[in-house]
Structure 1
Amino acid sequence: MPSSTAEPVTAAASFGTLDPTARLLFALAALLLLCRAAGALARRIGQPPVLAELAIAVLLGPGLLGALLPQAHQALFGPGTRPVLDGFGQLGAILLALRTGRMLGVGGPHRDGRGSPADRAHPPHADPREGRAVAVVGAVSFLLPLTAGVLCGLLLAPRLPHGRGPLALALFLGCALGVTAVPVLVRLLEETGLSGTPAGRIALGAAAVGDAAAWLVLAVALAVGGALTPGGLWLTGAGVLVLVPLLKWRPPAGAGRPADVSLLVAGCALAAGASAALGLHQLVGALVLGVLWGRRRPDPGPGAAAVGVLADKVLLPCFFLGFGQRIGLGAPAWTPAFAGLVLGLLAVAVAAKVVAGAACGALCGLAAPQWLRLGVLMNARGITEIVVLTVGYDAGLIDRTLLTALTLVALATTAMAGPALRLLDRLRPLPAAELPALP
């Protein structure tokens, strides 16, 4: 007879005995349902769903779910399921880069078929003054936070572990504080109706300029820290020389047909793999392919919608989950020193981005309601900083403490944007009529 003193089998233990495929499917279902519910809640309180999905990923990490329910965490997101979910997440990240590049290639979200009717009624102005404003805002709104981040990194280096050296840490911190999330920015422009305004157009172009610069600085930080060999750095330079002419290429008018989803995903994978082989990050190749796709066919077609649904609803939550497993938000993390680190980095990040964007907008001739909004828009970091942080952490440029602190900064700056824009709508409303272009 079985012993009456045998311990009862817990639900988590029973779950762990399931077939690996069944555990993977249950884990994926749990993740997607939680993200769906959190996204709906975020919309109700005026926040982008991506913010809620990031929060869910952090909650499911080892610092919270792993600390409270270690058996459930191990059963759902342990070694049997994590590699596959991480693979889904990497595919989601490169598809996001593809879509972001396509939006830049066609000139913004109002050409993407996703903006409001009011947005699509105001096509982008072919005004060279806006082009100059994009260059100025993009450069200054990246260089000022970059400089502030480098100084913070040099000050923090004696107090934080930095296995790759203080200079690599400083460059990486400047890069992380200097980015603006183009995908989050696009969503903000759509939801606030700013896509057709000078502030919206300039913010989108400037964010693209800043993010391109951020990848270059990240490559330098990896090289300085020894994570990228001199040969790899030369390959990166060669890759840039190959990709830049492609970005200048424009196809004949009317060229292109609606792309098949399988061809889009296959082409994206090839472009990402090629850029990784050249020493660049895989997202760079997907971004360049997206720009070329947008220039070849501004009308999105069914392929863009299908890729968007696949990336947004299924694959990106897996990417966030993989990132969340790296975060440590357990009780030991919450010390006065850690809180001071988060608040200090947050203050520097917000001040540098908002001041740079708003001041440059004012100097370029925007009216006060426009340049105020421009400063707020440039401060949203979101998923772009999450991707940068993932690369830096995996390369050993930062430890888990700084990774967690910068993640909280990314979440906070993304959450600030919506409420700040609504506050400006009350304090400095935009004119009811169409706003003029730059004077």
Structure 2
Amino acid sequence: MHTITTTELFLIAMAIIFTVPYLIWRLARTDYWAPLVVVQIVAGILLGPGVLGAAFPDYYTFIFRPEVITALNGLAWWAVMLFVCIAGIELDLVKTWRNRRETGITAGLALFVPLLAGSLLALLLMRWPGWVGSAAQPWQFVVGIGMSCAVTALPILILLMEKLQILRQPLGQRMLRYASLDDIAIWAVLAFILMDWERIGRQGAFLAVFAVACIGFRRVMRAIPERDRWYVLPIWLCICAFGADWAGLHFMVGAFLAGVVIDGHWFRQDHMDQLRNHVLLVLMPVFFLSTGLRTTWETGGAAVFLVAGLLLLVSVAGKLAGVHLAARILHWPRGDATLVGWLLQTKALILIIFVNVLLDKSIITSATFTAMLLMAVASTMITIPRVAPLLARQRDRVVGTGTPENAVS
């Protein structure tokens, strides 16, 4: 009788990872309200111990053995490092600086208001057991929850704007500036949360060496052709991720730093778009599953859904309030604030990466992680259904006044 090997179990798990979300996405035709990437995240939750493991424990433990999970985690780590690095490359700091007043006010308020609201909710959650991680300082938990409510996922925002056909229009370029500045703030806050004051010397050494290495790296990248830059990129990514993890800042912070010091124009835009899409297609589903394997309902399903709902309410209301306040200061045209506020609701991926780090460092519990994961999925799913009709009405008004459609801003 044949004894199934770890390799065979790994391939069965991989087949499940890619088959289940694709069938749901294609057969249920969810693309309008739940793009494939969102379905993959939901499938990861369904395939985790809280759903599949609870319904079919024997099958779950048969397939997702520790050695299989270890192999999947390795792929997931590499996938998320590539994805975060690409997100850093896509930041256009030059355009952000040119429009620094408008971008600073909008991005700042769109970040600060939901961060403040989320922090207040975190203070409330601290009154009940089961939500604060075992290694968390109170301020780390509060700031971590607050920032989770303020996150905007730049890479997913790009995908959604491509679907809405506004990425290359003035509105789309504005959104990229706002999300880019928020992205920098998110990773800066994460690095601050993860600062280990007992290892401050090691972290300072890493940042000093990184700053010096960037000078040499940028000179090399300018001197070599684009073909060679693609080979140098993963080497640089591994070195930066290792250095950050060695210093206690987590490898994802290093991956973001590796990307943010790279100029986007060093690579053809269509090639970078293809890389991002391929990583999303063939690697990130493994990360989604590994994320789903970490979900838990031990605190109670009702409590987790309640907290997820509160996080979603605080996040959406805070983001809309912050953008509307910016619109009043900057005297935006009618309707712009609501449209921008809803576009900035996309949280999936970056929030999932963010809360994975918080869970790794025991700043949040698995129950908090699950609630935030549900919030990330819901906030992303409501974006297109809310934005599409708003965008159509704004285009109708522009056409009615005789203004060219691409002037919508």
Q: Please report the TM-score for the alignment, with normalisation by the length of structure 1.
A: 0.80
234-243 vs 366-375, which deviates more? 234-243
Q: Show the counterpart of 2:190.
A: 218
| Aligned: 1:313 with 2:300 | no
Q: Show the counterpart of 1:405.
A: 371
Q: Show the counterpart of 2:23.
A: 37
Task: Report which structure shows greater RCO (CA 8 Å, sep ≥6).
Answer: 2
Q: Show the counterpart of 1:119.
A: none
Among 73, 77, 85, the residue aligned to 1:86: 73
The amino acid that maps onto 1:172 is G
CA contact (8 A) 1:106 1:294 kept: no
Q: Structure 1: how far apart are the matches of 2:121 and 2:145?
A: 8
User: After superposition, where does 1:272-311 map in structure 2 within 5 Å?
Assistant: 272-295=241-264, 297-300=266-269, 302=271, 304=272, 307-311=275-279
| Aligned: 1:55 with 2:42 | yes
Among 359, 368, 376, the residue aligned to 1:393: 359
Deviation at 1:262, TM superposition (A): 4.8
CA contact (8 A) 1:51 1:382 kept: yes
- The DSSP-based 3-state class of the residue aligned with 2:67 is coil
Q: Show the counterpart of 1:181.
A: 153
CA contact (8 A) 1:236 1:278 kept: yes
Deviation at 1:339, TM superposition (A): 3.8
The amino acid that maps onto 1:24 is F
CA contact (8 A) 1:38 1:52 kept: yes
- The DSSP-based 3-state class of the residue aligned with 1:368 is coil
Among 335, 340, 358, the residue aligned to 1:369: 335
- The DSSP-based 3-state class of the residue aligned with 2:189 is helix
Label 1:264 to 1:55 Cα distance change in 2 as closer, same or farther (>3 A).
Answer: same
What is the alpha-carbon root mean square deviation over aligned residues? Answer: 3.1
Q: What do residues 237-264 of structure 1 show as CA deviations (whole Å, max 9, x unaligned)?
A: 55556667859x9879897423475543
Q: Show the counterpart of 1:138.
A: 107
> Between Structure 1 and Structure 2, which shows a larger proportion of helix residues?
2
Q: Show the counterpart of 1:10.
A: none
Q: Structure 2: how far apart are the matches of 1:169 and 1:36?
A: 36
CA contact (8 A) 2:161 2:172 kept: yes
- The DSSP-based 3-state class of the residue aligned with 1:62 is coil
Among 282, 285, 296, the residue aligned to 1:328: 296
**Structure 1 regions of 5+ residues with no counterpart?**
1-13, 108-123, 224-228
| Aligned: 1:28 with 2:2 | no
Among 358, 381, 386, the residue aligned to 1:420: 386
Deviation at 1:198, TM superposition (A): 3.9
Aligned residue pairs, count: 397
Deviation at 1:351, TM superposition (A): 0.4
Label 1:49 to 1:106 Cα distance change in 2 as closer, same or farther (>3 A).
Answer: farther
Deviation at 1:38, TM superposition (A): 3.6
Q: What do residues 175-196 of structure 1 show as CA deviations (whole Å, max 9, x unaligned)?
A: 2112111111111111112223
**Structure 2 regions of 5+ residues with no counterpart?**
none
Q: What do residues 359-409 of structure 1 show as CA deviations (whole Å, max 9, x unaligned)?
A: 314432432233322111111111111011111112111112211111111
Q: Show the counterpart of 2:83.
A: 96
| Aligned: 1:159 with 2:128 | yes
- The DSSP-based 3-state class of the residue aligned with 1:367 is coil
Among 141, 148, 157, the residue aligned to 2:117: 148
Q: Which has the larger radius of gyration?
A: 1
CA contact (8 A) 2:34 2:381 kept: yes
Q: Structure 1: how far apart are the matches of 2:369 and 2:223?
A: 46
Q: Please report the TM-score for the alignment, with normalisation by the length of structure 2.
A: 0.86
Identity of aligned residues (%): 24
Q: Structure 1: how far apart are the matches of 2:369 and 2:144?
A: 11
Label 1:372 to 1:340 Cα distance change in 2 as closer, same or farther (>3 A).
Answer: same
307-316 vs 54-63, which deviates more? 307-316
CA contact (8 A) 1:275 1:285 kept: yes
